[in-house]
């Protein structure tokens, strides 16, 4: 599972790269708190990881990788 934080016009989002490597499944679009961002996923532990895998297996929203801007996985707090 290759996770990414990206901006696709709706602010920072958590995504997972598809097997083809050409799209990101928008995990944030699930509305699940554990998938709101990478920190939420880390905090959710194994439950968050299994939720992310389920969303990856049945993607509701995916976006072409070429149409997003990749961001730092964890934002820096100033």
pLDDT digits (tens, 9 = 90+) for 10-68: 889 999 999 999 999 999 999 999 999 999 999 999 999 999 999 999 888 999 999 99
Task: Return the pLDDT at 59.
Answer: 81
Residue 50 lies in a domain: yes
* Cα angle 56, 9, 19; round to 5: 25
- Domain count of the fold of the chain: 1
b/e for 2-14, b at 16 or more Cβ within 10 A?
ebbbbebeeebbb
Query: What element of type H or E holds 44?
Result: helix 38-57
Q: Which residues form the domain of 26?
A: 4-8+11-66
Residue 39 lies in a domain: yes
| Residue that the structure tokens 């696709």 belong to | 8
Task: Return the pLDDT at 22.
Answer: 96
Query: Which of 72, 9, 77 minimizes the C-alpha distance to 38?
Result: 72
């Amino acid at each position: 599972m290759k996770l990414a934080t990206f901006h696709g016009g709706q602010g920072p989002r958590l995504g997972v790269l598809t097997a083809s490597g050409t799209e990101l499944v928008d995990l944030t679009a699930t509305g699940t708190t554990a998938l709101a961002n990478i920190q939420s996923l880390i905090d959710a532990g194994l439950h968050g990881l299994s939720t992310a895998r389920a969303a990856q297996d049945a993607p509701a929203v995916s976006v072409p990788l070429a149409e997003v801007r990749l961001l730092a996985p964890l934002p820096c707090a100033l």
